[in-house]
Chains A and B, each alone.
Chain A
Amino acid sequence: MLENILRTLPQVLFDGITLGTVYAVIALGYTMVYGILKLINFAHGEIFMTGAFIGTAILLAFSSLGWIGTLPIIILVLVAMFLTAGVTGAIGVGIERIAYRPLRKAPKLIALISAIGISFLLQDLVRFTTEFANDGNFYLIGPELFKSNINVPLSKMASFLSDASFKTSFLFVLVTAVALMIILDVFVNKTKWGMAMRAVAQDRDTAALMGVNVNKTISLTFFIGSALGGATGVLFAVQYGTIDPYIGFILGLKAFTAAVLGGIGNIRGAVLGGLIIGVVEMFAAANLSTLTNHVIGAEYKDVFAFIILILVLLFKPEGLLGKALHEKV
């Protein structure tokens, strides 16, 4: 049994890390907004989903223009991601302005309910629009972009390993997601507005006294978080092909779990949490059946993210990289 697990481990790690980077970038959106507003923006999963639809629509448009096949695919996907990020970023700013800012002084639960409302609204808006434009179907199939597979002949290197293979889109997703995270990290830690975001997260009033425009900083945070979420939606659509308006829910919950696991409010923690959950999930998908003697199958893989969530909340509620908060009295 162990031999089997070891044999497939490289493939599990490849797939898990890719999935993990997707979770990680979405988790960043949760964690940034939580850091600055202490609000769990439950609409963030739907921002991701909306991004997947906008990106796919753009790519389908490119396809109907005949650009796919004539222009380099990587450039086209990057353009689609860039445009999508702009749109979802603006949607995020709008959501904050309309649904959260008027409630900023209200109890947190009220804003949370508002977030859940926005979530449903986005799901239905996307479903309605897609059905309208797509002959009554609410799912969307994107153009196939990366057709080739890359084989890694691991068995030649070590006889106890199986060969691993992945779609070239895998590499694209991985590289782009990592690039997004690095750009964000540099922005937050090295630029003036990144510093303003951290200052508002730590002490909003004092940041304002320093001359930081708090509302603008919060809008910026929503823009960046939502732009990243939307761009990741495009990556997801490119990687997995078919999307529907409900993909944001479970994926959002898992990304949220990743943010909690890493320590909500902590940007590097979100990345770590995303990677862990991605790998655990893929490991479960590949080995659950072997480990339980076929009693429990791969379809139970989703359970693990939430088992992790419960364990974290029970034993280390501040998360792996988070600091325990002492409530001020």
Chain B
Amino acid sequence: MTHLLEVKNLVSHYGQLQALREINFHIDEGEIVSLIGGNGAGKSTTLKSLSGLVNVTSGEIKFLDKSIVNLLPHQISAMNITHVPEGRRIFPEMTVEENLYLGAFNVRDKAIIKERMEKGFEYFPILKKRLHQKGGTMSGGEQQMLAIARALMNQPKLLMLDEPSMGLAPIIVDQIFEIIQELNKSGITILLVEQNAYHALQIADRGYVLQTGEIILSGTGKELIENDEIREAYLA
């Protein structure tokens, strides 16, 4: 069986710095895969390489058996690979509704856009109440919800979330992780990047541990949680 996403010997630079050193991993359809590691390990750079924001120096990225190396971000987005960037990055001067419309930039049919918006409100009812509020005026948790809802507008085959729990209150974090699991159950494959390793591994089918641009460990979520090294380094 071919993988949904397959990354082989990926090398990327962040400025002059080599951020990824020949990393290999794959994601199968329907999985939640977590990428954990400390600050500067290369987690965000991995996502940015996949979504086209960072140029790949060498290596191969295949999505559904097609190479997507160094396609432009909008071309990758059109393949329904959707990246929710670190820090949510909603458009602060735009309303919730406009943010959602932008998420569906690849879609022409207005009826489909409406339908997806309604579906998003099922996960995040608060957004329906805030429809005409400017994104920048919402709380961090609401912004994260908007960022995920906006990504759903593109009907992702692969949803990549970069630190969705960052800076949020524990109760909101639980809520977000619950929704990630629900989304996965609805059929969306998820690549999750997190510093909150325990949470991320708990919901993951499989996980990879990145350290200074290299994958040093991989396994099922359960294996990694129980691994002593991981416990010491990330779960203490």
Contacts and interface: CB of A to CB of B under 8 A. Distances in A.
Interface of A: 192, 195-196, 198-199, 202-203, 205-214
B91 A199 contact: yes
Contact of B78 (A198, A202, A211, A214): A211
A210 B150 contact: yes
A211 B105 contact: yes
Interface in B48-70: 51-53
Contacts of B77: 208-211
B131 interface: no
Given A208-B52, A210-B103, A210-B105, A202 B92 contact: yes
B102 A212 contact: yes
Given A208-B73, A209-B73, A209-B82, A195 B89 contact: no
Nearest to A217: B74
B93 A211 contact: no
A193 to B, nearest CB: 10
B102 A207 contact: yes
Interface of B: 51-53, 72-74, 77-78, 82-83, 85, 89-94, 98, 101-103, 105-106, 150, 154
Nearest to B80: A211
A129 B98 CA distance: 46
Contacts of B105: 192, 196, 210-212
Chain A contact residues: helix, strand, loop or mixed: helix
Q: Please provide the 4 A-B residue pairs with the shortest distance between their CB atoms, ordered closest to farther.
A: A208-B73, A211-B77, A211-B105, A211-B106
Contacts of A209: 51, 53, 73, 77, 82-83, 85
Nearest to B136: A202
Contact of B93 (A198, A210, A212): A198
A202 B94 CA distance: 9
A202 to B, nearest CB: 5
Nearest to B48: A205
A163 to B, nearest CB: 46
Given A195-B102, A208-B53, A209-B83, A214 B93 contact: no
Nearest to B102: A210
Contacts of A195: 94, 98, 101-102
Given A205-B73, A209-B53, A209-B82, A199 B89 contact: no
Nearest to B150: A210
Nearest to B78: A211
A195 B103 CA distance: 11
B93 to A, nearest CB: 6
19 contacts: A192-B105, A195-B98, A196-B102, A198-B91, A199-B91, A199-B94, A202-B94, A205-B73, A206-B89, A208-B73, A208-B74, A208-B77, A209-B82, A210-B105, A210-B150, A211-B105, A212-B74, A213-B74, A214-B73
A195 B83 CA distance: 20
Contacts of B73: 205, 208-209, 214
Contacts of B150: 210
Nearest to B53: A205
Given A192-B101, A210-B105, A211-B77, 8 more contacts: A202-B92, A205-B53, A205-B89, A206-B89, A206-B90, A209-B83, A212-B102, A214-B74
A213 B92 CA distance: 20
Nearest to B107: A211
